A and B are shown apart, each in its own frame.
Chain A
């Protein structure tokens, strides 16, 4: 059997990759994808901890995280579409003013 620590290491590495993606990419869609990677990393550690404790609570929290991720993707992509319509760009550096 695989020790709990190995799952947590995978989860930490995925979370770090997602964080790096948010800071390194200059494309709003890739930034949203990096946030999805981070959410999935947290999901993995939830399920691993839940399995280690012998309860289903980890799976249920993962279910809620997925729902929130779906809502976040819908609203986030709607914002991306609205921004693209104004500036014809997906570069976050193009959106520096609050009102134009």
Chain B
């Protein structure tokens, strides 16, 4: 079963790299590890017969978005995270708050497990239904995208335009008056 072995290897790489991302103090290392995690995820997409999503993952996420993050980290030149300052007067440092946070974390875990248990066909193989050649072709993805999801696609283009204008306005240096 080489398929299953590959799945577990790539899933382990994705989870391990993501764990290391939040374990780093230096955001530069975090970004590099996140790129590794995205590469493993794109391998999982290939296993799910979604090569278009896998390539978009590599090009858009690992290529464009992560380079944007790297660019900002280098621009700001603030590599190390500040050490924790245990300000006792902070409202979040009150004794009950830690327990409340632990309760919320337990609630999230219970919720996730409950959702996973309640999935109907969790045990059936993921590739049981559908025609692989049809699902994995960019042609069928494009056809559905430009017919059923036409409005969402056009709305997305407005979103990108707004985000571009917003980023320029926010990051523009204020002029001296």
Interface residues of A (CB under 8 A from B): 1-10, 12-21, 23-27, 29-30, 32-34, 36-37, 40, 43-44, 47-48, 50-60, 62-64, 66-75, 77-82, 84-85, 89-91, 93
Contact = CB atoms under 8 A, between A and B. Distances in A.
10 contacts: A4-B122, A10-B15, A12-B116, A27-B27, A29-B73, A30-B81, A34-B21, A50-B50, A56-B144, A73-B69
A74 B84 CA distance: 28
Interface string B155-169: 010011011101110
Interface string B5-26: 0010001001100110110110
Contacts, number: 230
B160 A70 contact: yes
B72 A64 contact: no
A33 B30 contact: yes
Main secondary structure on B side of the interface with A = helix
Contacts of A78: 166-168, 170-171
Given A2-B3, A27-B27, A90-B78, A82 B125 contact: no
Q: How many B residues are at the interface, by size bracket? A: 35 or more
B56 interface: yes
A3 to B, nearest CB: 5
Given A5-B116, A71-B162, A93-B87, 7 more contacts: A1-B127, A8-B116, A10-B14, A33-B31, A43-B57, A72-B163, A77-B167
Interface in B129-143: 129-131, 135, 140-141
A57 to B, nearest CB: 7
B103 interface: no
Contacts of B73: 29
Contact of A59 (B34, B41, B52, B160): B52
B40 to A, nearest CB: 10
Contacts of B149: 60, 64
Contacts of A69: 61, 65
Contact of B48 (A9, A30, A47, A82): A47
B22 A25 contact: yes
B129 A81 contact: no
Contact of A37 (B11, B37, B101, B124): B37
A14 B76 contact: no
A79 B82 CA distance: 19
Nearest 9 CB-CB pairs, A to B? A54-B130, A5-B122, A1-B125, A21-B22, A71-B163, A54-B129, A78-B170, A78-B167, A78-B171
